[in-house]
Structure 1
Amino acid sequence: MLYPELFKQLESVRWDMGKDIPWETFQAGALSDEQAQTIKMNAITEWAALPATEMFLRDNRDDSDFSAFMSIWFFEEQKHSLVLMEYLRRFRPELVPTEQELHDVRFEFDPAPPLETLMLHFCGEIRLNHWYRRASEWHTEPVIKKIYATLSQDEARHGGAYLRYMKRAIGNFGDEARSAFAKVGVLMASARRTAQALHPTNLHVNKALFPQDTIQSRLPNPEWLEHWLDKQIDFDAVWESRVVERILHNMSLLMEQSFKTVQELNRFRKSLV
């Protein structure tokens, strides 16, 4: 089992919201209304770990090891939402999300193949790590800069944990797992060719609820994510290329081959069909 080791590792580096966030260094003049609004939207999107966990537990009923790991992932992701809301509670209380706004992003996801879902969320953690690093640079207020830097490190560790389960899956399922991971890897590393960034928060996950079947569509401002990426944190082609590089690097390690481009990964995917 991977869960006991991952629990020990993640417990050893877990941050304390009271002790490790420098609340006393807050500078009111360094936080704009525009920036504060983005924190509210991020707090709500992080709350979506709740329906994602429900999905993971439902679709991995035969995998108690991974399901146990969800106790860590769920706790830490909900803590992300909580620390952002605590920031607003202290410094912009009028922007704290309402319970209804949080509940609106909790809805049932359609069943999906567990291996593809695992890879999707692995890539999502890589992307969030980079989004939050860029958000930390964009913000000008010291406390929220520290919070985003802290969250980005959590997302990187979560990606590492998912990678451990992906390695285990290849050992258990061989080319079935390789094919699933390569398929989603090609999709997620091709985001620059699509109209919007690909991340679990903006993918359609419930056909019956379309078009209100993405996390993003249920936010108070459904247009927020693209605006945040393109106009605020300026997640440009350079930053996107870093995401692609990390996906390809990890796929190279996982498949024990070298993938320098998405096209090379796609050729490998086709060779497994």
Structure 2
Amino acid sequence: MDGMLYPELYRSLEAVRWNMEKDIPWSQFDASLLSDEQARTIKMNAITEWAALPATEMFLRDNHDDSDFSAFMSIWFFEEQKHSLVLMEYLRRFRPDLMPTEEELHAVRFPFDPAPPLETLMLHFCGEIRLNHWYRRAAEWHTEPVIKCIYETISRDEARHGGAYLRYMKKAMTRFGDTARSAFAKIGVLMASARRTEKPLHPTNLHVNKEMFPNDTVQSKLPDPAWLEHWLDEQIKFDDGWEKKVVDRILHNLSLLFERSFSTAQDLNRYRKEITSRLGSAIQNATHSV
């Protein structure tokens, strides 16, 4: 067990696990504070969270040689599916007309093309940070007290998942050195420059299956594929100030991980080039010594 993170992560996440019956204040529901518009966004989020299922299948396939990380997936998968479940439970109790159908849930389960595991790990680390902030903002936007509590609760789970991924990134750097640093820095630059892109950069919005392109994102499989951008821009108003919080959090964590200080995506990009050049020199030296 020496060096494995799974036993310790299991204990720490088990200690703070919330109970769907006891920890959600269902009795405080106030129908007058939930609009149709708000209720529809809960349905879309419930379906989006169901995509932890194909993501887990991808993680297990692409990390076949890493049983420690694959074991951690049992916790991550359980908690992410529970997010979908608690949002559906809310709809079942208070807006049963908006409950997702099994077909709507199953539509987001499609195969993701194999991808480099280190890049995927970093992508999901950034995705957890982003979701933590999206859900915190959603909790502020909603007016009904029970759903506010649900979004606050699941946002804290996402932050803890980000922390767990960070531990696996640290472990990967011990095993793979600059190869891991290069992969993490590359995705970090992409994620910390998100404001330059049209769409929000998150695993559910990235193309993952060449054969199904362009309908190969989780969002494209939703009953309303344009929902996410509308939710972010017009509803929860995830503006530049909130985007900056996401970027700052990513840069702060990478500063700790790489033991270097990054204030901007440009700082991180300079570091990435440094690592790439170091890797190139190492390959050249290895070739010369053969």
Query: TM-score if structure 1 supplies the norm length?
Result: 1.00
Alignment of structure 1 residues 96-107 onto 2, 5 Å: 96-107=99-110
Matched with 2:260 is: 257
1:140-177 per-position Cα deviation (integer Å, ceiling 9, x unaligned): 00000000000100000000000000000001100000
- Runs of 4+ in structure 1 deviating by more than 2 angstroms, as ranges, are none
Question: Structure 1 stretches of 5 or more lacking a match?
Answer: none
Alignment of structure 1 residues 1-273 onto 2, 5 Å: 1-273=4-276
Give the partner amino acid of 1:230. D
Find the residue that maps to 2:224 and give its secondary structure.
Answer: coil
1:96-149 per-position Cα deviation (integer Å, ceiling 9, x unaligned): 000000000000000000000000000000000000000000000000000000
Q: Distance in 2 between matches of 1:212 and 1:160?
A: 31
Q: Distance in 2 between matches of 1:29 and 1:97?
A: 22
Q: Distance in 2 between matches of 1:10 and 1:185?
A: 26
Give the partner amino acid of 2:109. R
Shift of 1:272: 1.2
Find the residue that maps to 1:221 and give its secondary structure.
Answer: coil
Larger radius of gyration: 2
Q: Distance in 2 between matches of 1:251 and 1:188?
A: 12
RMSD: 0.3
Shift of 1:211: 1.1
Q: Distance in 1 between matches of 2:180 and 2:198?
A: 28
Q: Distance in 1 between matches of 2:199 and 2:60?
A: 28
Number of residue pairs aligned between Structure 1 and Structure 2: 273
Find the residue that maps to 1:226 and give its secondary structure.
Answer: helix
Query: TM-score if structure 2 supplies the norm length?
Result: 0.94
Question: Structure 2 stretches of 5 or more lacking a match?
Answer: 277-290
Q: Distance in 2 between matches of 1:193 and 1:10?
A: 35
Find the residue that maps to 1:260 and give its secondary structure.
Answer: coil
1:169-224 per-position Cα deviation (integer Å, ceiling 9, x unaligned): 00110000000000000001111110011000000000000111000000000000
Q: Distance in 2 between matches of 1:10 and 1:270?
A: 36
Q: Distance in 2 between matches of 1:7 and 1:24?
A: 31
Find the residue that maps to 1:67 and give its secondary structure.
Answer: helix
